[in-house]
Amino acid sequence: MSQAPIGIFDSGVGGLSVWRQVVHHLPGETVLYLADQAHVPYGNRSAAEIQGHCLAITDHLVREGCKAIVVACNTASAVALQPLRQRFPQLPILGLEPAVKPAVAITRSGVVGVMATPATFQGELYRATVGRCAGSVQVVEQVCIGLADLVEQGQLEGPHCDATLRRFLDPMLAAGADTIVLGCTHYPFVIEAIRRLVGPGLAVLDPAPAVARHLGEVLEQQGLRLAPGALPAPPHRFLTTGEAAAFDRAVARLVGADCRSQALRWCRNPEGEAVLAPA
């Protein structure tokens, strides 16, 4: 049993779709959330650059005493999960990957659509999952450049949001997809708009609840799960490398939490490595 926080990070506000599930499924646990908004979006950046950010962020969360880490970003998981596990072999580190397996299990048309960033589709994790799970099911990959930015800007509805979503949804629908996988943690924040546009016959999958349940199992297995009510839980904390007041408003809007985030800045240590420090 450990009162240390669970660290969750993303390029921005997307990982809050995982945060809310973790908070819901694991009452009594405290979460330290870090949004790397100085670098959002990650999706168009090189693997080496994303890995560098993820290693420095995890170093910071470990220094803050986190007992487990959730890489609440499909893009970061695609390129950085292995190096992170190599650097921190004792630390439970969970990642996100597009929910291709459950989608393949429920499709009736035999066509599944996956929405994600370019870096996620280029990653080995995604390729391996499709290779292992798709079988005879056709997987239509839809790169959604700009969609995470819309969510960062708080544009979750309206004509521009609908038009952007239609551009991404139409090719998957035209290919016959009856199941859509949200392969980026930002996208669950536009799930209502997606459902309205595709209609009731299609399944739209958000992997966050399954990730939160899996995190609970991992903490139990490792003796790290705090029994609910055993000790008064310290409040959840939020860190951003962006602008704190804007992030606080986004947290309130997206997950209804009262947030007084602390701003961090990227700087260089004496060895010239990028590290995080209080702003």
What is the closest distance, in whole angstroms, from the C-beta atom of residue 250 to ligand DGL in the complex?
A: 13
Which of 7, 11, 129, 194 is close enough to bind ligand DGL by CB under 6 A? 11
Our finding on whether 95 is near ligand DGL (CB under 6 A) is no
Element (H, E) at 211: helix 208-221
What is the closest distance, in whole angstroms, from the C-beta atom of residue 179 to ligand DGL in the complex?
A: 19
Q: Per the residue annotation, which of 54, 66, 73, 144 is the catalytic one?
A: 73
Please state, as a whole number, how many other Cβ atoms lie within 10 Å of the Cβ of residue 55.
18
- 149-159 in b/e form (b: 16+ CB < 10 A) is ebbbeebeeee
Which of 9, 19, 33, 42 is close enough to bind ligand DGL by CB under 6 A? 42
Does 144 qualify as catalytic in the annotation?
A: no
Q: Which residue is nearest to ligand DGL (CB)?
A: 43
What is the closest distance, in whole angstroms, from the C-beta atom of residue 137 to ligand DGL in the complex?
A: 22
Which of 21, 129, 164, 185 is close enough to bind ligand DGL by CB under 6 A? 185
Our finding on whether 75 is near ligand DGL (CB under 6 A) is yes
Asked if 98 and 46 count as a contact pair (C-beta separation under 8 A), the reply is no
Residue matched to tokens 């704190």? 244
What is the closest distance, in whole angstroms, from the C-beta atom of residue 272 to ligand DGL in the complex?
A: 25
Q: What is the DSSP letter of 5?
A: P
Choose one: 7-15, 55-63, 251-259, 270-278; the region binding ligand DGL (CB under 6 A). 7-15
Does 66 qualify as catalytic in the annotation?
A: no
At 23, is the secondary structure helix, strand, or coil? helix
Our finding on whether 10 is near ligand DGL (CB under 6 A) is yes
274-278 sheet: strands from edge to edge: 93-95, 68-71, 6-10, 31-35, 237-240, 262-268, 274-278
Element (H, E) at 174: helix 159-174
Which residues are CB-neighbours of 106 under 8 A, at least 6 positions away? 179, 203
Our finding on whether 14 is near ligand DGL (CB under 6 A) is yes
Residues 120-139 that bind ligand DGL (CB under 6 A): 120
Nearest Cα residue to 95 out of 8, 177, 198 = 8
Query: Nearer Cβ to ligand DGL, position 11 or 21?
Result: 11
Residues known to be catalytic: 73, 184
**Positions that interact with ligand DGL (CB under 6 A):** 10-11, 14, 40-43, 73-75, 117, 120, 148, 184-186
